[in-house]
């Protein structure tokens, strides 16, 4: 039996890489210093794994920005527009690489960045490879060989990790018509061969090919390409050991394909899909070993050893210990680095957690326990593990009977507004008296350095609660006055009191904790620190009523209450794994529902429940979409349905394709939905039009992701396009998203123009 790690977090346990990259980009440090930081992180990571006793330690899992971009550079998939960057005298390979990731605006060049998108269903974002017809590839970077050599120097014969050829192609985008990216496999294969030959010459014995697409719905052609590619590679390298790594879901209908590929080890994700073990054990051929992904690479909970051992036992009984590998479910890239840094966590809760460094140890302990080679310290670890698991099952910190009972008592009616939208619309019109093309914004106004500094000073104790409150009130009042002045119809308070749209609520809800250093890479140098949902969720006190009520007291116009929805809170947190996500989501939904009702009681007549993350929660396999959508939509409805017909519920979603889920969006039954639309020139509205979406819609007319100020004419044109497909009586006028990242200067100009555009549009009626 052997242990291995698919990949280790590379941002550094104190975010050293983030800091070094940003300093390098702003010219504060030289290349050599950045490279030193990178090497130190690699060495640090390798040592952790070596000291823990991992058998196969990865290399090339490190990256200065993104592992997919690394692959593009290695195989020379460098779009033509960057060639000039490479030609500039003082530019290194890394400068070209960062130009692809971030764009390049100097030396008289102005080149856009490559596109970025979500890595499967994680919150990690990768740089999308660009493919062209008949594209030729060429070995272009030495990074992987240098890393292998670096590991060797550290006394490790590392296992290089490559994104498998087929997954690499499937991750990319065809940038011209008339070909299929999979056709490029033939051109790409020689470069993969060259890379692997070099690694073999350097002394590599193992290669890990990451092929997560084997867990997705894939075409026949993709399946054929898998067979072709791995057969060819096997022919070239009869002696090298190949690991094919799959993760994020089960192999399911691709299982027979996966076990038929000529590899030495197949890695499967038993956290996401434990059911597949049985299937695989029944079909696995004799010459294939199995890597069991039993330690969750994507969450922060301590492994349940007893449970994992039953999987390992089952597999060893069938295959024998020799053919078994123990591993985390996927790369540990998605876990924070090291729990040891969390010195402020409640000890009982901390004892339930495990970050990357701790997970490495878990893998080693599991192997020892499963193969009967455990020593005293591992036996002690096992005892501690049992105690932690037992304490989590019963702890009063986690389990709140009142919450459980309330969730169990939820009825269909709780997820139902009192009357249909048609009736609600009339009542809302009567009480709200809004004009045609009502104007509003999505919630936040600029979070200036000043606003942020108040929060920092308040947290440090340099500002008293009263002082902080007074400053926020002043800012809120100014914002209300200004919205009145420029003639916005539905005002917002500006969200100046909020750090982040999930963290703010998590801090006020019971069942959440926050780490000090639990950073996870989101993209490039950007990291996020998701809250941890560890227990039953309840709302001890109102969360937003104070600010909404204050804002409403300052004006005779309507102020919109502003909440984050249950699915988004769930999606952007580390979620407990001891009950279904749907259950946790329902608990959050009830807490938000109480808040909605309290806002109504406080005189707030329009309430927005943001759900930007609904779409990203979709399962990877289409067959599971409806089940997810059912509980996600229900959670939203529970949160929204406690109010009277005359109270208007809004929701907001950021850019997303709605075509395939429009029915479910309509099922949410929000009175008004605002969406990001301007960059697509209103194209996203077509889904709503084709569906004859009945409720009101605010398609964004102002792209807030750029400092650029749109003109009144542009926005009138967008509104005209919107009216082509949606009746005017259903339309609102608003920006694409919240304005917190913008400056006041451009915000003011843009919103003044937006209001003018709305006025002109309604004058035509």
Residues carrying an active site annotation = 705
Among 211, 636, 738, 751, binds ligand GLN (CB under 6 A): 738
And the tokens for 66? 């993104």
Residues 467-496 that bind ligand GLN (CB under 6 A): 495
Residue 562 site contact among ligand GLN, Zn ion, none (CB < 5 to 8 Å, cut-off depends on kind): ligand GLN
Q: Which residues are CB-neighbours of 145 under 8 A, at least 6 positions away?
A: 198, 199, 202
Q: ∠745-741-337 over CA atoms, to 5°?
A: 155
Residue 593 site contact among ligand GLN, Zn ion, none (CB < 5 to 8 Å, cut-off depends on kind): none
Total H helices, total E strands in the chain: 28, 22
**Nearer to ligand GLN among residue 248 and residue 496 (C-beta):** 496
Please report how close the Cβ of residue 737 comes to Zn ion at its closest, in angstroms: 3
And the tokens for 625? 């979409």
194/186 Cα distance (integer angstroms): 14
Please report how close the Cβ of residue 714 comes to Zn ion at its closest, in angstroms: 20
Among 610, 634, 669, 671, binds ligand GLN (CB under 6 A): 610
- The reply, when asked if residue 301 is annotated as ligand binding, is no
Q: 639-668 mask for Zn ion (x: CB under 5 A)? A: ---------------x--------------
- The reply, when asked if residue 583 is annotated as ligand binding, is no
Please report how close the Cβ of residue 658 comes to ligand GLN at its closest, in angstroms: 15
Residue with tokens 């990865």: 58
* Beta strands 606-610; 648-653: pairing state: parallel
Residue 304 site contact among ligand GLN, Zn ion, none (CB < 5 to 8 Å, cut-off depends on kind): none
Residue 612 contacts ligand GLN per CB under 6 A: yes
**Nearer to ligand GLN among residue 67 and residue 568 (C-beta):** 568
629/499 Cα distance (integer angstroms): 29
Residue 292 contacts Zn ion per CB under 5 A: no
3-state helix, strand, coil in the chain (%, to 5): 50, 15, 35
Please report how close the Cβ of residue 203 comes to ligand GLN at its closest, in angstroms: 48
Q: ∠379-384-388 over CA atoms, to 5°?
A: 150
Residues of 327-366 as b/e, b for ≥16 C-beta within 10 angstroms?
A: bbbbbbbbbbbbbebbeebeeebbbbbbbbbbbbbbbbbb
Please report how close the Cβ of residue 698 comes to ligand GLN at its closest, in angstroms: 13
**Nearer to ligand GLN among residue 236 and residue 656 (C-beta):** 656
Please report how close the Cβ of residue 751 comes to ligand GLN at its closest, in angstroms: 13
Among 442, 585, 666, 753, binds ligand GLN (CB under 6 A): 442
- The reply, when asked if residue 526 is annotated as ligand binding, is yes
DSSP code per residue over 108-138: T--BPPPPEEE-TTSS-EEEPPEE-TT----
Contact 40, 16 (CB under 8 A): yes
Contact 226, 185 (CB under 8 A): no
Contact 134, 556 (CB under 8 A): no
- The reply, when asked if residue 444 is annotated as ligand binding, is yes
Contact 271, 335 (CB under 8 A): no
**Nearer to Zn ion among residue 291 and residue 651 (C-beta):** 651
**Nearer to ligand GLN among residue 612 and residue 642 (C-beta):** 612
How many chain residues touch ligand GLN (CB under 6 A)?
13
Residue with tokens 């936040």: 444
Q: 686-725 mask for ligand GLN (x: CB under 6 A)? A: ----------------------------------------
Residue 315 contacts Zn ion per CB under 5 A: no
Residue 573 contacts ligand GLN per CB under 6 A: no
**Nearer to Zn ion among residue 731 and residue 737 (C-beta):** 737
The angle, 0 to 180 degrees and rounded to 10, between the axes of the packed helices 744-763 and 465-486 is 40
753/709 Cα distance (integer angstroms): 9
SS3 state at 469:
helix
Residue 150 site contact among Zn ion, ligand GLN, none (CB < 5 to 8 Å, cut-off depends on kind): none
Q: Which stretch binds ligand GLN (CB under 6 A): 346-354, 371-379, 451-459, 733-741?
A: 733-741
Contact 480, 554 (CB under 8 A): yes
Please report how close the Cβ of residue 616 comes to ligand GLN at its closest, in angstroms: 12
Residue 164 site contact among Zn ion, ligand GLN, none (CB < 5 to 8 Å, cut-off depends on kind): none
SS3 state at 35:
helix
Residues 718-747 that bind Zn ion (CB under 5 A): 737
The angle, 0 to 180 degrees and rounded to 10, between the axes of the packed helices 401-408 and 581-601 is 90
Residue with tokens 């326990």: 369
Residue 164 contacts ligand GLN per CB under 6 A: no
Please report how close the Cβ of residue 539 comes to Zn ion at its closest, in angstroms: 24
φ, ψ for residue 117 (rounded to 5)?
Answer: -150, 170
DSSP code per residue over 617-672: G--SSGGGHHHHHHHHHHHHHHHHTTS-TTSEEEEEE-S---GGGHHHHHHT--SE
Residue 652 contacts ligand GLN per CB under 6 A: yes
Among 48, 171, 501, 726, binds ligand GLN (CB under 6 A): 501
Residue 443 contacts ligand GLN per CB under 6 A: yes
- The reply, when asked if residue 443 is annotated as ligand binding, is yes
Among 654, 666, 731, 756, binds ligand GLN (CB under 6 A): 654
Q: Which stretch binds ligand GLN (CB under 6 A): 55-63, 353-361, 402-410, 737-745?
A: 737-745
SS3 state at 270:
coil
Residue 610 site contact among Zn ion, ligand GLN, none (CB < 5 to 8 Å, cut-off depends on kind): ligand GLN
And the tokens for 194? 């060259």
Instruction: Give the Cβ contact number of residue 474 at 10 Å.
Output: 11
DSSP H or E run through 24: helix 16-25
- The reply, when asked if residue 17 is annotated as ligand binding, is yes
**Nearer to Zn ion among residue 369 and residue 687 (C-beta):** 687
Residue 444 site contact among ligand GLN, Zn ion, none (CB < 5 to 8 Å, cut-off depends on kind): ligand GLN
Please report how close the Cβ of residue 573 comes to ligand GLN at its closest, in angstroms: 15
Beta bridge partners of 289: 265
Residues 607-636 that bind Zn ion (CB under 5 A): 612
445/450 Cα distance (integer angstroms): 13
120/170 Cα distance (integer angstroms): 12
Residue 11 site contact among ligand GLN, Zn ion, none (CB < 5 to 8 Å, cut-off depends on kind): none
Beta bridge partners of 206: 241
**Nearer to ligand GLN among residue 381 and residue 676 (C-beta):** 676
182/174 Cα distance (integer angstroms): 10
Contact 642, 592 (CB under 8 A): no
Residue 737 contacts ligand GLN per CB under 6 A: yes
Residue 444 contacts ligand GLN per CB under 6 A: yes
SS3 state at 168:
helix
Q: Which residues are annotated as a binding site for L-homocysteine?
A: 442-444, 495, 610
State the residues that interact with ligand GLN by CB under 6 A: 442-444, 495, 501, 562, 610, 612, 652, 654, 737-738, 740
Binding site for Zn ion (CB under 5 A): 612, 654, 737
Binding residues for L-methionine: 442-444, 495, 610
Annotated binding site for 5-methyltetrahydropteroyltri-L-glutamate: 15-18, 118, 526-527, 572, 616
Binding site residue list: 15-18, 118, 442-444, 495, 526-527, 572, 610, 616, 652, 654, 676, 737
């Amino acid at each position: 039996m052997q242990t291995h790690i698919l990949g280790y977090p590379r941002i550094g346990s104190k975010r050293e890489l983030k800091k070094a990259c940003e300093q390098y980009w702003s010219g504060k440090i030289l290349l050599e210093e950045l490279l030193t930081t990178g090497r130190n992180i690699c060495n640090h990571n390798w040592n952790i794994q070596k000291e823990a006793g991992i058998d196969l330690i990865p290399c090339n899992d490190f990256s200065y920005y993104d592992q997919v971009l690394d692959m593009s550079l290695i195989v020379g998939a460098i779009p033509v527009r960057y060639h000039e960057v490479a030609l500039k005298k003082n530019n290194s390979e890394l400068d070209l690489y960062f130009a692809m990731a971030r764009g390049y605006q100097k030396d008289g060049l102005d080149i856009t960045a490559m596109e970025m998108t979500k890595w499967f269903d994680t919150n990690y974002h990768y740089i999308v490879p660009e493919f062209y017809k008949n594209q030729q590839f060429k070995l272009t970077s030495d990074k992987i060989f240098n890393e292998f050599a670096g590991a060797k120097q550290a006394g490790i014969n590392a296992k290089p990790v490559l994104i498998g050829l087929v997954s690499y192609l499937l991750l990319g985008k065809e940038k011209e018509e008339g070909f299929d990216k999979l056709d490029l496999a033939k051109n790409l294969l020689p470069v993969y061969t060259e890379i692997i030959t070099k690694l073999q010459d350097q002394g590599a014995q193992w290669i890990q090919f990451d092929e997560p697409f084997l867990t997705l719905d894939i075409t026949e052609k993709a399946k054929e390409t898998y067979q072709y590619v791995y057969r060819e590679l096997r022919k070239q390298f009869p002696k090298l050991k190949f690991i094919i790594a799959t993760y994020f879901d089960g192999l399911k209908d691709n299982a027979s394909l996966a076990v038929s590929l000529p590899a030495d080890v197949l890695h499967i994700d038993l956290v996401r899909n434990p059911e597949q073990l049985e299937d695989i054990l029944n079909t696995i051929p004799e010459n294939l070993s199995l890597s069991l992904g039993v330690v969750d690479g994507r969450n922060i909970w301590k492994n349940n050893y007893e449970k994992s051992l039953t999987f390992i036992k089952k597999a060893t009984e069938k295959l024998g210990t020799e053919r078994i590998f123990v591993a985390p479910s996927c790369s540990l890239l998605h876990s924070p680095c090291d729990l040891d840094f969390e010195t402020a966590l409640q000890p009982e809760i901390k004892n339930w957690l495990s970050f990357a460094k701790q997970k490495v140890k878990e893998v080693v302990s599991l192997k020892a326990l499963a193969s009967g080679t455990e020593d005293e310290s591992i036996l002690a670890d096992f005892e501690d593990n049992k105690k932690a698991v037992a304490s989590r099952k019963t702890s009063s910190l986690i389990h709140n009977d009142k919450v459980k009972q309330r969730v169990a008592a939820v009825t269909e009616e709780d997820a139902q507004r009192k009357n249909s939208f048609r009736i609600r619309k009339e009542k809302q019109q009567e009480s709200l008296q809004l004009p045609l093309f009502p104007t509003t914004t999505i919630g936040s106004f600029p979070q200036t350095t000043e606003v942020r500094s108040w929060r920092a000073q308040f947290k440090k104790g340099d500002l008293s609660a009263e002082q902080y409150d007074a400053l926020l009130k002043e800012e809120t009042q100014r914002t209300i006055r200004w919205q009145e002045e420029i003639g916005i119809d539905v005002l917002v308070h500006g969200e100046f009191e909020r750090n982040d749209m999930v963290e703010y609520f998590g801090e006020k809800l019971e069942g959440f904790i926050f780490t000090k250093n639990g950073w996870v890479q989101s993209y490039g140098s950007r990291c996020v620190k998701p809250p941890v949902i560890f227990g039953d969720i309840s709302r001890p006190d109102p969360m937003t009523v104070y600010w909404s009520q204050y804002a409403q007291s300052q004006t005779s116009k309507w102020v919109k209450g502003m909440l984050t929805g249950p699915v988004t809170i769930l999606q952007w947190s580390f979620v407990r794994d001891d009950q279904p996500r749907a259950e946790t989501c329902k608990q959050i939904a009830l807490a938000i529902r109480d808040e909605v009702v309290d806002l109504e009681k406080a005189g707030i007549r329009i309430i927005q429940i943001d759900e930007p993350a609904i779409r990203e929660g979709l399962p990877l396999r289409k067959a599971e979409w409806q089940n997810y959508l059912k509980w996600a939509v229900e959670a939203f409805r529970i949160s929204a349905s406690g109010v009277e017909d005359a109270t208007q519920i809004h929701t907001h979603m950021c850019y997303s394709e709605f075509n395939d889920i429009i029915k479910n969006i309509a099922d949410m039954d929000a009175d008004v939905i605002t969406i990001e639309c301007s960059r697509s020139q209103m194209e996203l509205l077509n889904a709503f039009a084709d569906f004859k979406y009945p409720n009101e819609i605010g398609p964004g007319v102002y792209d807030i992701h750029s400092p650029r100020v749109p003109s009144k004419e542009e926005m009138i044109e967008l509104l005209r396009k919107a009216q082509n497909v949606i009746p005017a009586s259903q339309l609102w006028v608003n920006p694409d998203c919240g304005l917190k990242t913008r400056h006041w200067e451009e915000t003011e100009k843009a919103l003044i123009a937006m209001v003018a555009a709305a006025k002109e549009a309604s004058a035509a009626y």
